């Protein structure tokens, strides 16, 4: 990949596809961080591990999105609908409720559907050469199975998939250029915020874990 004008040189680029290389090790011995075309990268495992648990570097949560000028819809999602952003007892309580929907019995009951979806997608490759395994199988198969697991109607799976992709834009910086798509995704996934209350989550988890 060529480096665009104004981007810093990437000293790791020659070693990008190798697990171990003397040149990479030499760079790592000189410094624990380096600036590349991807931004700053941490080369020391122990330092990276410490940074992962340092609350000062937390990049996900209501405060982060508030500081980025997030919309009212995004702030509702961050405080009321996104389990990874919850803390303490509320997080643990909702996680326990959701786990009841992912029991061994529940997953086993979906295995025929998993096989059916996988077989249908693979059979479609017979008339296509070439085909894109990632786009035509690896993306669609888990989406259809997970949609069935949480009760998304078959006719809504494509829209559900598009919304979840747009929700991933929450990881972009700056956030503002993507705000309209994120807001639309949140509206589509959670048309009525009351449906995502703690009690409703618990109720749906209990229902999905029933025989």
Mean pLDDT of each 10-residue bin along the chain, 211 residues long: 44 51 75 77 86 76 88 92 86 86 87 94 87 88 88 87 90 89 90 47 45 43
The token duo for 93 is 């309580």
Rounded to whole angstroms, what are the CA distances from 146 to 14, 104, 106, 141? 39, 15, 12, 9
Q: What is the pLDDT of residue 166?
A: 92
Q: What is the pLDDT of residue 12?
A: 52
The token duo for 206 is 């209990």
d(Cα 101, Cα 160) in Å, to the nearest integer?
19
The token duo for 126 is 């017979």
Q: Tell me the whole-structure pTM to 2 decimals.
A: 0.60
Q: What is the pLDDT of residue 121?
A: 93
């Amino acid at each position: 990949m060529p480096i665009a004008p104004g981007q810093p040189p990437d000293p790791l680029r020659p070693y990008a596809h190798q697990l171990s290389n003397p040149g990479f090790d030499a760079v790592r011995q000189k410094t624990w961080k380096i600036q590349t075309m991807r931004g700053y990268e941490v080369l020391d495992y122990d330092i990276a591990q410490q940074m992962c648990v340092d609350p000062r570097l937390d990049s996900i949560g209501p405060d982060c999105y508030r500081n980025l000028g997030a919309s009212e819809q995004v702030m509702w999602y961050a405080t009321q609908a996104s389990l990874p952003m919850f803390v303490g007892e509320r997080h643990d309580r909702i996680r326990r409720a959701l786990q009841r929907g992912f029991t061994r019995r529940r997953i086993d009951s979906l295995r025929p559907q998993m096989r059916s979806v996988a077989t249908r997608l693979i059979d479609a490759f017979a008339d296509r050469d070439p085909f894109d395994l990632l786009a035509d199988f690896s993306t669609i198969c888990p989406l259809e199975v997970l949609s069935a697991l949480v009760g998304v109607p078959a006719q809504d799976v494509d829209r559900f998939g598009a919304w979840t992709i747009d929700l991933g834009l929450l990881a972009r910086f700056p956030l503002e250029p993507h705000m309209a798509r994120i807001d639309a995704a949140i509206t589509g996934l959670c048309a009525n915020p009351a449906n995502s209350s703690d009690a409703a989550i618990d109720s749906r988890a209990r229902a999905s874990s029933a025989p």
